[in-house]
Amino acid sequence: MTPESVIAFGQHALYVAILVAAPLLLTALAVGLLIGVIQAATQINEMTLSFIPKLIAMAVVALITGPWMLRTLVQFTRQLIEGLPGTVK
């Protein structure tokens, strides 16, 4: 296993991790920003107000993108396991 292959594996693993986490993180960001604007406009300074909308929005996004996330992770794992004999010498 060469250092280049280890770096390539690490880069691919990080890419898959970012790709899988992006929908949930972007949803939390968007909902948090929207709730923050609403709180600023109405001058409601309750810190826990954004928790429930974020939770609901992230659950909906997880239900919608869940199969794609699972498929992406399974594909990455399958490539990793199938490529294992070629990398170990």
Per-residue pLDDT tens digits of the chain, which is 89 residues long: 788 888 988 999 999 999 999 999 999 999 999 999 998 898 888 878 888 999 999 999 999 999 999 999 999 999 999 988 887 76
pTM for the predicted model, two decimal places: 0.81
By C-alpha distance, which of 4, 25, 12 is closest to 78?
A: 12
Chain-centre distance for alpha carbon 43: 32
* Residue 61 Ramachandran class (φ > 0 left, ψ -120 to 50 alpha, else beta): alpha
Task: Annotate 32-52 with DSSP letters as a single string.
Answer: HHHHHHHHHHHT---GGGGHH
